[in-house]
Amino acid sequence: MGRVRFAVLCALLISLAACGDSNVPLDRIDPETGRWYTAELAAAGSAVFAEHCAECHGDAAQGAVADWRARLPDGSFPPPPLNGSAHTWHHPISVLLQVIDMGGESLGGQMPGFGQVLRDEEKLAVIAWFQQFWSDEIYEQWLTMGGAN
């Protein structure tokens, strides 16, 4: 892994560790993939996702409707896929955490906030779980766009 990429990942983990009780240690960088999460963290996110997210985002984070860009009759947007095939990877982890906390109404959706429902480590585990579906190319673009911020 390159020094710049490693530094970005370390900065991400330090900032995440400083947020609430998330406690993500630096040794959780997967040496094989270079991603910020371990397989164990992603696996932990599977159950949380199944309980709180899958009903709307699909059981494999594929989304619930084919055209997630088309407004629903009430004017809101349907839940997008989180598997790397939609726009989720355009958002840094700080925004992903904010949407999980506050919900998606301010973005034109109907997602409720989970800030008082999920612990910080559960939120990170959910993000890790759906990011495992992202191709290496999408993940690299996410990092390049400031995903670790």
- Could you count the other beta carbons within 10 Å of the beta carbon of residue 49? 24
Residue 47: CB partners within 8 Å, gap ≥ 6?
A: none
Structure tokens at 61: 């984070």
At 65-95, the pLDDT tens digits run: 989 999 999 999 999 999 999 999 999 999 9
Residue 36: CB partners within 8 Å, gap ≥ 6?
A: 9, 12, 13, 16, 24, 28, 29, 128, 148
Domain boundaries in the chain? Answer: 38-144
pLDDT score, position 29:
67
- Provide the mean pLDDT of the chain: 83
At 31-40, the pLDDT tens digits run: 866 799 888 8
The more confident residue out of 30 and 119 is: 119
Q: How far is CA 123 from CA 21, 129, 137, 144, in A?
A: 11, 10, 23, 22
Domain covering 38-144: architecture:
Orthogonal Bundle (1.10)
